Structure 1
């Protein structure tokens, strides 16, 4: 058996392609332009584009963005828990971007600058 027979020249490539019918194309709804816009998308992109390259900036970011959600609370009255407020940070539309920015700042301080980041954890 010769393996050179199984080269591209000798293989027959089949492509199973089904072109959509006109009915199926009409059934696809076009999304209006105004629904594609997200009001905070530009802010998300700007936060993701921030490059941490200064130790002072990295320290400021780590101080401003908390490691844990500051809104989670237990309201107690005479030792009895009346209401538990869950962490609401996940509702924040910029939560993921802010946590990624804080992580980049922590990594910069630890890896590039060689500083101890245990104060921010």
Structure 2
């Protein structure tokens, strides 16, 4: 055994693809062009950057704690994660913030 490892697992032990996973692989994502466009969007205008920074919230505005008589009765979870474009919008807001700080020299506090 001069340091070589031999894999004795057969291919039969590996999971087979199911019809559902094959369907998901062939499935067309209708929002993919919009996601790509949002990811490629470059911020080069201070007014646009300021608008995006203010328009896109930093955290989900729908998340709430329902408190009655100083007792937490219920918690409404953040619903923004259900938005299929959530990651792209948060990234766009971050790029706008970085542009304002790095290129325009604005102090965002």
**Same fold (TM > 0.5):** yes
Which portions of structure 1, spanning 4 or more consecutive aligned residues, are displaced by more than 3 angstroms?
27-35
Report matched runs for 1:6-25 at 5 Å. none
Q: Secondary structure at the match of 1:82?
A: strand
Q: Secondary structure at the match of 1:90?
A: helix
Cα distance in 1 for residues equivalent to 2:25 and 2:73:
44
Which among 47, 69, 80 is matched to residue 56 of structure 1? 47
Deviation at 1:97, TM superposition (A): 0.5
Q: Residue 45 in 1 paired to residue 36 in 2?
A: yes
Deviates more, 1:93-102 or 1:38-47: 38-47
Which among 79, 91, 99 is matched to residue 88 of structure 1? 79
Residues 78 and 94 of structure 1: CA distance in aligned 2, closer, same or farther (over 3 Å): same
Deviation at 1:56, TM superposition (A): 0.1
Cα distance in 1 for residues equivalent to 2:24 and 2:67:
49
Q: Based on CA coordinates, which of the two structures has the bigger radius of gyration?
A: 1
Deviation string, structure 1 residues 44-100 (Cα, Å, up to 9, x no partner) = 112112110000000000010011111110112333322101122222211110111
Gapped runs of 5+ residues in structure 2? 1-15
Q: Secondary structure at the match of 1:98?
A: helix
TM-score (norm 1): 0.66
TM-score (norm 2): 0.72
Match of 1:106 in 2: 97
> CA-atom RMSD, angstroms?
2.3
- What is the aligned length? 92
